[in-house]
Amino acid sequence: MADRKQRMSESDLAKRSQAAAAMVPVGREGQYGEMAALALTLCDDAVSGYITGQPIVADGGMMLA
């Protein structure tokens, strides 16, 4: 039986990343910093003190597509 844990080459990973980004309406993958900024915003009462029980979707527009 073939080992299913074979590693992908860097070029294969890049191709998958480009293909995934092409499916997102903003045309790129999200960045860690963007998710961190959202989390920090939600932790700041001065900015988000009036937000209660809301789902916040950070998906590059996938939900709208």
CA distance 5 to 13: 15
pLDDT for res 5: 64
DSSP secondary structure, the chain, as one string: ---TTPPPPHHHHHHHHHHHHHHSTTSS---HHHHHHHHHHHH-HHHHTT--S-----STTTTT-
Quote the pTM value. Answer: 0.66
Domain residue ranges of the chain, discontinuous segments joined by +: 10-48
- The amino acid sitting at 15 is K
pLDDT for res 8: 81
In this prediction, what percent of the chain has a pLDDT beyond 70? 92
